[in-house]
Structure 1
Amino acid sequence: MSAITLHNLNTLEPLDQEWVREQLSNYPFIRIDGVTNSRTLGSYPVKITSSEARAEDRFEGRVTRPRQLFRSAEISGITDEGKTQLKELGITKVFDLRSDTEMEKYNTPVPQIEGVEIVRVPVFEKEDYSPEVMARRFQLYASGKTEAFMELYSQILDNGGPAFAEIIKHVRDKPDEGCLFHCTAGKDRTAVIAAILLSLAGVNDDVIASDYELTRIGREPARTLILKRLAKEPIFAENKDAALNMLTSRRETMLAFLDLLRNKYGGAEGYMQKFCSLSAEDVQEIRHNLTADTKSCFLR
């Protein structure tokens, strides 16, 4: 059993800082100076059983393609060193899932990074940030309940098709060019598209849930900043536990989401076809591009 599984990531109390630093130095976390919650989605074991998969993909011994997909929290604070690290990872494109509204609210503009294209693909439009909508959204987050997160994640799925399609098409068209996608915290919108891609690739539900759980560690260095931001919202200013629930990323939440994705949206394949306007042939090509043979690639 790993050190992570032995550590209680569901606690609302701060995590041991020495332990967090140790975890952040290990795979799948990566270092991009000035950016938190950054990690690779490469080298996860996959097993493809779909009848739509190419014949050469239907065997164990494949992994998610290394140096292809990366996820993180906002990159607005990236340093010059971080920009160099980003390019050293082979990342040529960054997909920003945030809205103008939240960028203005938190004063987190898009940085300029020579040699890296940053594409704005907001999941939610400006009207989705009305006081009424945000009050309901914060109420759901504050509860910390799995059912509440399923309502929130359904909203992301229902609205995110066009944004997610841009990331997915990058995998289809440029599988050898690394990309990073992020929202503000790298927790919810980022987790949804990460889970869709990993699920399509053939990654086991438990592994996807473990990847989701890592956000509890990845965000810990920004804990004080996050709570300071939340304190400006009445619902969190008056309820400390509600604010702390915003820091959680429980594995049971992701397992419930994967069930939701299958039962309501037809799984990753069905979602991509209906909400991202991709064909069955596109989905097959993307699935193939997401994986690599462990015998012919460097794993990380």
Structure 2
Amino acid sequence: MSTPKVELVRLAETDVNNALAPEQYGPVISSPPFVFVDGTFNTRDLGLVPDSPLRSNFAFRSGTLGGLTDNGKAVLTGKLGVKRVFDLRSPDERTRMPDPVIDGVENTWIQSTSPDSKPDLTSFVAGEGEAGYEDMYLEVIDIYAESWKAILEHVRDRPQDPFLVHCTAGRDRTGVFGGMLLALAGASEDAIATDWQLSRIGTEPVRAMLLEFARKGTDAYGEDQPGFYNLVNLRKSCWRAFVKALEKRYGGFEGFVTDKLGFSQDDLSKIKKNLTSA
């Protein structure tokens, strides 16, 4: 049984300073739109997010797969039917925790055009960190362009092959991917922002690890450094700020897909159709 949307949103809007208890998040991450895959976290079906127009059992997202167990592999290939995994991590991240080899699953990794910049915490200080998120996600959109292109080519050419996309936390780079696919499928801004914010719940089992990952990734001296708090929270105002900046630069996700990635209008129509119907 799916978790009611009102409950999902309530938990997803919990301040990151307030840890969620296992009895709060446990039942949620074990039911749709989340999928329990042993050895990973923050795994969900984009077609089961509340109000998603995207078809289910096709596009999945998650955190790193490095800890995937044999049971997790069986769920991934059996219950979910995943045929391809796209890895959005850096070479260093992949070296520290390589993707597992899974029989019958194709692993795809395309190096970004430049290394991810360390987020500048000073840009996250004002308001709820909107300016920092604009900069961070516009960079993600640009430097992972070849990965976005490969994913959309898969949607266009292999609509019968379910796939999964992940990074380390399954939160930011994977969050941009989720937003792009939902937008192309015709989801409302609220549904897209809700999916993005669900990573607040999905990452809770590895909360300490990810806070440390964020601290090291920003060279922060501690979690009380100005700007860090806004960086690690997931507030819809920050997603909206990014979308507004994307509209200004590319005309939104569709403009990005045609102008930056080079897909034709026929390609775009086919991608949209394949996202919403088998």
Q: TM-score, normalised by structure 2?
A: 0.88
Counterpart of 1:38 in structure 2 is 43
Counterpart of 2:31 in structure 1 is 26
**Where do 5+ consecutive residues of structure 1 fail to align?**
47-61
- Correspondence for 2:93 among 89, 96, 102: 102
RMSD of aligned Cα (Å): 2.3
- Correspondence for 2:68 among 50, 56, 78: 78
Closer, same or farther: CA 150–225 of 1 in aligned 2, 3 Å: same
Closer, same or farther: CA 141–249 of 1 in aligned 2, 3 Å: farther
What one-letter code is carried by the residue in structure 2 that aligns with 1:114?
A: D
Counterpart of 1:55 in structure 2 is none
Counterpart of 2:121 in structure 1 is 139
Q: 1:148-192 CA distances to partner (integer Å, 9 max, x unpaired)?
A: 100111111121221100001000001121000011111111111
1:30 match: secondary structure? coil
2:144 match: secondary structure? helix
The reply on whether 1:218 has 2:207 as its aligned counterpart is no
Closer, same or farther: CA 69–276 of 1 in aligned 2, 3 Å: same
Q: 1:191-223 CA distances to partner (integer Å, 9 max, x unpaired)?
A: 111111110110000011011110000000001
- Please state how far the C-alpha of 1:141 moved relative to its aligned partner: 7.9
Q: 1:210-262 CA distances to partner (integer Å, 9 max, x unpaired)?
A: 11110000000001222344455683333446555443222222222222222
2:26 match: secondary structure? helix
1:181 match: secondary structure? strand
Counterpart of 1:90 in structure 2 is 81
Select between 2-11 and 138-147 the one with higher mean Cα deviation: 138-147
- Please state how far the C-alpha of 1:265 moved relative to its aligned partner: 1.1
Do the aligned partners of 1:162 and 1:275 also contact (CA within 8 Å) in 2? no
Q: TM-score, normalised by structure 1?
A: 0.82
**Following TM superposition, where does structure 1 have runs of at least 4 consecutive aligned residues deviating by more than 6 angstroms?**
none
The reply on whether 1:12 has 2:1 as its aligned counterpart is no
CA distance in structure 2 between the aligned counterparts of 1:234 and 1:41, rounded to whole angstroms: 29
Structure 1 or 2, whichever has the larger Rg, is 1
- Please state how far the C-alpha of 1:139 moved relative to its aligned partner: 2.4
Do the aligned partners of 2:42 and 2:202 also contact (CA within 8 Å) in 1? yes
CA distance in structure 2 between the aligned counterparts of 1:38 and 1:21, rounded to whole angstroms: 13
1:116-195 matches, within 5 Å, as 116-125=105-114, 128=115, 133-134=117-118, 137-139=119-121, 143=125, 145-195=129-179
Do the aligned partners of 1:261 and 1:268 also contact (CA within 8 Å) in 2? yes
